[in-house]
Structure 1
Amino acid sequence: MLSVHKEGKGSFIEQKSEFIGEAAPVSSEEEAMAFVNKIRELHPKATHHCYAYILGESQNIQRFSDDGEPGGTAGIPMLEVLKKQNLTNVCVVATRYFGGVLLGAGGLVRAYTRSAIVGIEKAIVVEKEIASLYRLAVPYESLGTVDYRLIQEKRKESGRSYGEKVEIDLWIPQRDEEGFIRSMQELFNGQAELNVMDQQWVSLFHGEILL
């Protein structure tokens, strides 16, 4: 599924009004509203804080608010941006500091659409996938060979420790697990010491895990 990797923020001026678009990854309605409230607290003097969010792998939870703007000119356009980009588990908030010039319905729709887009761009659109954290125990004499293989395969290392053996922690997406295990067993003649330490959703950008 597609989501965003981190919180992102962009802004622009439209007819003397400042619009600030912010997006964040969220996993529940509570998290979404906590993000909205955080933005409200950061901008207590702003005129409006409009928002939209979509949750669930099937995008079954969709909410929005115009926060005092004319109906249909803010929250729905922002929600449409999320839907068109096929995003889920994302909340976008558009903060407006009114500059004294009325934009009209069409102008508001364009401004709030742009607010959602700039926030999402800064938050980095990624693919979300379940990944497992593998711990690979490597004898010191084999470390150079293993490191070369891991670099070749572009594996994402999250840390290593040194004891009787070198223990390397690697995040492996579900789609790559079979190939990774096969590669390591081939390298160690079927005797690779591999243990799964954790499993969680991770962000993939152009196929590479972002930590």
Structure 2
Amino acid sequence: MRSSYKILYQGGTGEVTEKKSRFIACTRPVKTEEEALAFIEEMRKTYWDARHHCYAWVIGKKGEHKRCSDDGEPAQTAGRPILDVLEGEGVVGACVVVTRYFGGTLLGTGGLVRAYSGAAQEGLKSSVVLTVEPGETFSLTADYNGIGKIQYMLAQEGITVLGSGYTDKVELTILVPQEKAGKIQTEIADITGGQAEVVKLEDVYYGVVEKEVLLFPEE
């Protein structure tokens, strides 16, 4: 059984200030270590006059690849707290860079951990985090007598129709949540007396952003 996961779909920027030190968190979706390193370098150039650019990234559906850096801050006070925020939220496919402009006052280890964690949290708040669910797509072919009942049932179950075609019969392509796949096939057979043809196309992952359904092919 495949599991859902959360990805950073759209990056953002958040900021906290602690005793005049500014902590600016920038987030970006990344799929590879190369993309993460390029983003970190981009932030170094954007905030070229800052003292520290601490970061963490988590890549892979299960967070298989991760890394963090304190970039000159005391050990475990910057990169690890940023990574803890990502792991705590369960977000993968994400890189967070927190840039610090020193305000003249030392914060101590506890203060640094709170500041970097807080900045990372603000960065995620300004981002779009998407829950990606396992699903299956099906081709459904039925005659005009049965299609009305099918469409009503699909609407009641919240099933997304990805496409449709009308010839001597009606052909629909539907997206079904993994846990509903068996139920939907049984209901289609019941309401059409077994006359509708249902063929599984592929396993996919999907997410919904502002009512738009996005498909993520099985990797």
Compute the TM-score of the two structures, normalised by the length of structure 2: 0.75
Q: Which residue of 1 aligns with 2:163?
A: 159
The percentage of counterpart residues that share the same residue type is 27
On the 8 A contact 2:130/2:207 being kept in 1, the answer is no
The equivalent position to 1:175 in structure 2, one of 156, 162, 179, is 179
On the 8 A contact 1:5/1:123 being kept in 2, the answer is yes
For 2:202 and 2:111, how far apart are their aligned partners in 1? 48
Q: Which residue of 2 aligns with 1:10?
A: 13
Q: Which residue of 2 aligns with 1:66?
A: 70
Q: Which amino acid aligns with 1:62?
A: K
Q: How many residues are matched?
A: 203
Do residues 200 (structure 1) and 200 (structure 2) align?
Answer: no
Q: Which residue of 2 aligns with 1:90?
A: 93
- Measured on the aligned residues, the alpha-carbon RMSD in Å equals 3.0
SS of the counterpart of 2:9?
A: coil
Q: What are the Cα deviations for residues 150-180 of structure 1, in whole angstroms up to 9, with x where unaligned?
A: 1100112222233333322222222111111
Q: Which residue of 1 aligns with 2:138?
A: 134
On the 8 A contact 1:82/1:88 being kept in 2, the answer is yes
Q: Which range moved further: 183-192 or 117-126?
A: 117-126
The equivalent position to 1:20 in structure 2, one of 25, 37, 46, is 25
Q: What are the Cα deviations for residues 24-65 of structure 1, in whole angstroms up to 9, with x where unaligned?
A: 364xxxx24404413532662313443223345654543212
SS of the counterpart of 2:168?
A: coil
Q: 1:130 to 1:147 in 2, by over 3 A?
A: same
Q: 1:95 to 1:84 in 2, by over 3 A?
A: closer
For 1:165 and 1:209, how far apart are their aligned partners in 2? 27
For 1:54 and 1:70, how far apart are their aligned partners in 2? 22
Q: Which residue of 1 aligns with 2:35?
A: 34
Q: Which amino acid aligns with 2:42?
A: E
Q: 1:13 to 1:114 in 2, by over 3 A?
A: closer
Do residues 44 (structure 1) and 45 (structure 2) align?
Answer: yes
Q: Which amino acid aligns with 1:21?
A: C
Compute the TM-score of the two structures, normalised by the length of structure 1: 0.77
Do residues 124 (structure 1) and 125 (structure 2) align?
Answer: no
